[in-house]
Amino acid sequence: MSYQYHRAWRIALFLLLSLGSPAALGQTANTPSAPSPAAPPSSCDRATFRTVIDVGHTLESPGAFSARGVPEYQLNLNLATTIERKLTADGFEKTVLLVTSGRTQPGLLARVRNANTLPADLYLSIHHDSVPEQFKETWDFDGKPNLYSDRFSGHSMFVSFDNAERKASLLFGNLLGKQLKARDLQFTRHYTEAIMGSRRRDLVDPEAGVYRYDKLIVLRHTKMPAVLLEAGMMINRDDELKLASPERQALIAAAVSGAVEKFCDLRTAEKAKLLAEAKRTKKKAAKEPEKPKSGWFNPFTRPQKKPQPN
């Protein structure tokens, strides 16, 4: 074999090995990518975490009516049931669907009393929104006159600063608002407008759509973190159809489940941190020598005589 032939063969082999590699040819699609970092394990014990899903209003006092004459209570019951089933399916087996009967005021007191008797971790009241009378117009649906208002659209949430778990209530409202936003559901800002008069509210979380409303009995007197969700504007003709659909109800239920899981995780971690701090404090106190109490008497020490005046 001649020197020129041997040299040409070596160059060809080099080029074949070099250019044939995926890196040299830019064919990185088949190259295994580095594994993405695993999400931290959840500390939430779903089997013991309890959420109370409260169905707003009662059969006897159904609340407002939608643009097509459907009582709010019916919409609340449908959505709350979907949420309860979703949470249960996701492992939150102790979820409670709270259905109350009776007139308005007794019903409000009864639902608070029932919720407080449960060892619950979270309270979520389900409602659908309407508007003041001056914003409503008349239209015919199914041969009957009905009231509607297409002026506003979107959901909203309310918390009470008088709730015993104010910070935790705000936290869950923030988590739920973000979950709804991630699913392209927007909150309404009309509660911030002066035209709302006495129904105007402070927007305490502009990112998530959480308003402050201290006077709501179910938020003020419950002993656990509490949020009221107005799932949407049922008085808006287009929004009403969406809110009544199984697809929208499933979407909201998934958002609630995601928020509950995150809330449970954060609360569990917070409790574990407080417990660890308490243990460290107790351990530190046990190591420190006990200081003599004031007025302690040692029988083996002679009392010193007080100096006599000259």
The pLDDT value given to residue 65? 98
156 neighbors 129 (Cβ within 8 angstroms):
yes
pTM score: 0.78
**What is the residue-averaged pLDDT of the chain?**
86
19 neighbors 25 (Cβ within 8 angstroms):
yes
- pLDDT tens per residue, range 139-197: 999 999 999 999 999 999 999 999 999 999 999 999 999 999 999 999 999 999 999 99
- pLDDT tens per residue, range 111-130: 999 999 999 999 999 999 99
Residue from 92, 25, 52 nearest 229 by CA: 52
Report the length, in residues, of the chain: 310
The domains located in the chain, with CATH, are 51-268 (3.40.630.40)
Tokens for 46, please give them: 């779903």
Q: 202-205 and 51-55 as β-strands: parallel, antiparallel, unpaired?
A: unpaired
- pLDDT tens per residue, range 246-299: 999 999 999 999 999 999 999 999 888 777 777 777 777 777 776 665 555 555
